[in-house]
Amino acid sequence: MSLYVYAITKASHPLRLDDLDGVGESHSELHVVRGDSLCAVVSEAPEDLSVARRDLEAHHAVQERLWSDGVSLPLGFGFVAQDEDAVRAVLEQGAEQYAQRLAELADRVEFNVKGVQDEDTLLRQIVEESDRIRELNEATREGRGSPEQRLELGQLVAAEVQSRQDALAAQIVAALRPLVYAESLSPPSEQYFVNASFLVDRGKSEEFTDSCGELTEQLPEGVELRLQGPLPPYSFA
């Protein structure tokens, strides 16, 4: 029987799982596979596992409960093992590495910071602050611009957007870095110019949250920081 694996914990973890449901339409029962010093929380792997809200919420509920009761290594959604013997073998083979990681994560939480920037505001700022871009923009709007000028305008604007967003992302990460134990940076996307996860000592959670709020007030017009956390340390497990 294949197993869906949620997390790895120490053998001493309370493992309060009785009132939680596993992933899958049948809400399979959670149980524990034990190694010598570590445990894995598992349930029967459903045949219909999908990235659906039902299953994501079940997965997250297990992680939240485990993390509220003690340190754990939360696995990403969709981790499946062949059977209990396979899970036990992984626990035994990686025991030293997992124990070290559990020690590093103890009494720490994850915060995720995403940066969004209003496109219209950014483009207006770029046009106002660059003589060449403003000149090309006016020519294009009036229908006087040549194909070469339109190409140059697009290239200059794209480069300026990239440069400004890279600088903002570096500024945000640098400002928060003194408050964190570790960081994990995801590549920027069309939606977020910065997407960073930070591992923070639990005792510094309030200070970190306050610092994000203060940082938001210092950023240019049209820039917003979106903070999630405290969370189980998915990005650092």
DSSP collapsed to 3 states, 111-136: EEEEEEECHHHHHHHHHHHCHHHHHH
231 in Cβ contact with 74 (< 8 Å):
no
pTM over 0.85: no
Segment 74-102 mean pLDDT: 90
88 in Cβ contact with 7 (< 8 Å):
no
Return the minimum-mean-pLDDT range out of 11-15, 33-37, 139-143: 139-143
* Token output for 98: 């997992």
At residue 158, the pLDDT reads: 85
User: How many domains does the structure of the chain reveal?
Assistant: 2
Question: From CA 92, how far away is CA 113, in angstroms rounded?
Answer: 35
Q: Which helix (H) or strand (E) is 73 found in, with range?
A: strand 72-74
In tens, the pLDDT along 119-129 reads 888 888 888 88
The CATH number assigned to the domain holding 177 equals 3.30.70
Domain boundary among 88, 106, 124: 106
In tens, the pLDDT along 136-157 reads 777 777 667 677 777 877 788 8
Question: From CA 184, how far away is CA 171, in angstroms rounded?
Answer: 15
Q: φ, ψ for residue 130 (rounded to 5)?
A: -125, 115
Could you tell me the residue range of the domain that residue 148 belongs to? Answer: 109-236
Shared domain check, 98 and 125: no
Domain boundary among 49, 72, 106: 106
Domain boundary among 81, 106, 131: 106
